[in-house]
Amino acid sequence: MVDEVKKVVFPVGGMGTRFLPITSAIPKEMLPIVDRPLIEYAVREAYLSGINEFIFVTREDREILENYLNKLFKNNEISFLPESFSEDQNSCNSKQKNLSVSFVVQEQPLGLGHAIWCARERIGNEHFSVILPDELFLANTPCLKQILDIFYKQKGCVVGLNPIPIEQSQRYGIVDGQVVEDSVIKLSALIEKPDPENAPSNLALVGRYVLPPEIFKYLDLQQRGIGGEIQLTDAMANFLKVENIPFHGVILDGRRFDCGSKAGFVKANLAFGLEQEEQYSEIFHYIETMKTN
């Protein structure tokens, strides 16, 4: 029997170069979507999915981020999630107590795989989850919970997927596989940032993972991939080839915003702004006015 997944890793040690110059002063994960930073949306998603141990892989110069998180996690509870985030999220578990928060320093920005490897001692010999905060979803059921629901049925590894325009394949890890049930794919291959003509599908990895501890055998190799970085997709691809462990992808139900890009960040602010009743009329009127100008 597989134990419950209770740990999440947030890799937040990146440089945020696409948002310079603001990210020279503010970490990308602290950029606001309407009235709260990206990192809080990620924390909320994990919390509502039943997670109670939160591991942040960060850099030494992230005092702003750590101070905010220390205020968010107060007395081992979430201290100021707004009321609309709490009770009615499709029966998600929003009652966790005795939450654990820890910070791990990634001394060099050597890629997503390296960031997760840095958290290996905190993970131990347990299944764990990963959320990339700049991949933001507007979803009725938190995306991590969607993945965990499949994980408890299929076991092994489960990753979140989203269709993308095939011409954007060079920006993502792309998967190949066979549909086994509605929105669930049994994976046969993962390729990091393939050219469109070599992409096996238009299904991209979008920053949500549930992984077994065996993945660290492949991250321990510290193999460099595209961009000279230690890529998580490469480690998962090698894992898939060697290990006799189920590996599935879930096409996530929700609207996705790539907040690692400026256009995606602006779109997210509009979409989440429209979700707030007090803002809706003014924002909607402004959008309609722009259409006619």
User: What confidence tens digit (pLDDT) does each residue in 30-49 have?
Assistant: 999 998 999 999 999 999 99
- What structural domains does the chain harbor? 7-292 (3.90.550.10)
**Percent of the chain at pLDDT exceeding 70:** 92
Alpha-carbon radius of gyration of the chain: 19
pLDDT digits (tens, 9 = 90+) for 79-131: 655 544 444 444 444 455 678 899 999 988 899 999 999 999 999 999 999 99
Would you call 48 helix, strand, or coil by DSSP? Answer: helix
Beta strands in 92-199 (DSSP E): 100-105, 128-131, 135-138, 157-163, 173-181, 184-192
- Determine the straight-line distance between the first and last CA of the chain, rounded to whole angstroms: 60
The alpha carbon dihedral of 31, 35, 41, 44 has a sign of positive
116, burial (CB in 10 Å: exposed 0-12, middle 13-18, buried 19+): buried
- pTM here? 0.91
How far is the C-alpha of 12 from the C-alpha of 39, rounded, in Å?
9
pLDDT digits (tens, 9 = 90+) for 234-280: 999 999 999 999 999 999 999 999 999 999 999 999 999 999 888 88
Which among 251, 248, 51, 46 has a CA at the least distance from the CA of 156?
248
